[in-house]
Amino acid sequence: MTTKLSKRLTEAVDALPLFNGIRVLEIGCGPGAAAREVSKRIGSGHILAIDRSAKAIQQAIAGSQNEITSKRLSFRQVAIEDFVLANGEEPFHIAFAIRVGALDGRHPEIEARALSKIAKALTKNGKLYIDGGTPLKEVTLP
């Protein structure tokens, strides 16, 4: 299943500092369109795309069989404020989120918890990017 990426998502993916071998965490992946695009640009890297919605994860998996088979992309159903690295899972170089309520001010009651979980999932120099810049902005982590 190939779907054309929206202009907004294309600009966001284009703005990410991607390189061969990078590990990326996408927060709030929805049906997986941006994750599939990122997976094409990271060579031997890996993107884990998460979403709190079981339906979104089911749609993402259904539309991403080639990328999953290639081992460049995986999905997990989890809310970002509950996210922890799996046993033996390597931390991520970058994380990004587009229109995620836990990170855009819509749900301040969970934002601090979410930012703490993201910080723990990233490498020492890891960075978080969210929409709201031109097109992304970097968020300072605790």
Domain that holds residue 115: 7-139
Could you read off the pLDDT of 18-52 as tens digits, one per residue? 999 999 999 999 999 999 999 999 999 999 999 99
What per-residue confidence (pLDDT) applies to 4?
Answer: 80
Could you read off the pLDDT of 70-113 as tens digits, one per residue? 999 999 999 999 999 999 999 999 999 999 999 988 999 999 99
**43: in domain:** yes
CATH number of the domain bearing residue 108? 3.40.50.150
**1: in domain:** no
**2: in domain:** no
What per-residue confidence (pLDDT) applies to 3?
Answer: 60
Domain count for the chain: 1
What is the value of pTM for the model shown? 0.96
**75: in domain:** yes
Instruction: Write 57-63 long-range contacts (CB < 8 A, 24+).
Output: 57/29, 59/30, 59/31, 59/32, 60/29, 60/30, 60/31, 60/32, 60/35, 61/32, 62/1, 63/1, 63/3, 63/31, 63/32, 63/36
**73: in domain:** yes
